[in-house]
């Protein structure tokens, strides 16, 4: 069965999966495939690959979310990865799913409605703009982001959203080189590399998490105007 490896990984990691979690994820998968026929939401279209490369890969961040964390933001969430999976796993969290692409956010709003999620907000915006909005800036316990940009650029998108004392959990395929080129961005934006965690899985290869804690406020000039973090990374 497609979800067996997902369940096995969760069990090995001590993450509790209920029948409701599985039912919600099955509905998510079904809707994702249906919407994907009209809009390009994901390049992964085999149900088994969705269980592995999307759902299980999203699950890898779950244990790194501190127990006392409540407010989570997923930046460049696309079709809801990893943020929507994390919300389904723990409905107690307040998850903000943010992406620049309108169709993806439309899909997320649809999912929030049909999954009857009470604590989820889906918002269309760019990190460079929303990061200056006082209702969002430095107000999240945890930020997540997968497959959005190289680390020096990503840090400028993400760290402005994280509270001092909060963390950014970056999912990276091979992040070591990116860490080396990120020293300036980390220092400038108020971060500190706390930990690197290698994902232990025979299915998800070469995956790691980079945990960056926010140790001081981000200067107000960051993020810079749209496009600059990517064009001229710190």
CB-nearer residue toward ligand SAM: 173 or 216 = 173
- Answer yes or no: are the C-beta atoms of 151 and 210 closer than 8 Å: yes
Strand order in the sheet with 162-172: 120-124, 94-99, 71-75, 140-146, 162-172, 208-214, 191-198
User: In angstroms, what is the minimal distance from the CB of 124 to ligand SAM?
Assistant: 9
User: In angstroms, what is the minimal distance from the CB of 158 to ligand SAM?
Assistant: 10
Phi first, then psi, for residue 101 (nearest 5°) are -95, 120
Out of 21, 60, 77, 182, point to the residue binding ligand SAM (CB under 6 A).
77
Out of 94, 126, 163, 224, point to the residue binding ligand SAM (CB under 6 A).
126
Out of 9, 71, 76, 151, point to the residue binding ligand SAM (CB under 6 A).
76
Stretch that binds ligand SAM, among 10-18, 20-28, 63-71, 122-130 (CB under 6 A): 122-130
CB-nearer residue toward ligand SAM: 41 or 93 = 41
Q: Which of residues 135-174 bind ligand SAM (CB under 6 A)?
A: 146-148, 157
127: CB partners within 8 A, 6+ apart: 75, 76, 98, 100, 157, 158, 160, 161, 223, 229
Question: What is the size of the binding site for ligand SAM (CB under 6 A)?
Answer: 15
What would the x/- binding string for ligand SAM be over residues 4 to 43, using CB under 6 A?
Answer: ----------------------------------------
Positions in the binding site for ligand SAM (CB under 6 A): 76-78, 81, 99-101, 104, 126-128, 146-148, 157
């Amino acid at each position: 069965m497609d979800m067996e490896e997902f369940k096995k990984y969760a069990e090995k990691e001590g993450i509790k999966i209920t029948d409701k979690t599985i039912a919600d994820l099955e509905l998510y998968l079904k809707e994702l495939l249906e919407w994907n026929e009209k809009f390009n939401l994901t390049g992964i279209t085999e149900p088994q690959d969705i269980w592995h490369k999307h759902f299980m890969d999203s699950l890898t961040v779950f244990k790194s979310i501190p127990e006392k964390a409540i407010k989570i933001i997923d930046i460049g969430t696309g079709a809801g990865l990893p943020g929507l999976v994390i919300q389904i796993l723990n409905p107690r969290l307040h998850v903000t799913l943010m992406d620049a692409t309108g169709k993806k956010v439309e899909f997320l709003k649809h999912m929030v409605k049909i999954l009857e999620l009470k604590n989820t907000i889906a918002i269309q915006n760019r990190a460079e703009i929303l990061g200056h909005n006082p209702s969002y800036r430095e107000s999240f316990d945890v930020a997540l982001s997968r497959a959005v940009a190289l680390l020096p650029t990503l840090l400028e998108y993400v760290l402005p959203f994280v509270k001092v004392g909060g963390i950014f959990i970056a999912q990276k395929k091979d992040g070591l080189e990116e860490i080396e080129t990120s020293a300036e961005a980390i220092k400038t934006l108020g971060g500190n590399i706390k930990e690197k965690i290698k994902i232990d899985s025979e299915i998800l290869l070469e995956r790691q998490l980079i945990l960056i804690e926010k140790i001081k406020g981000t200067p107000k000039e960051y993020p810079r105007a749209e496009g600059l973090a990517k064009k001229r990374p710190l």
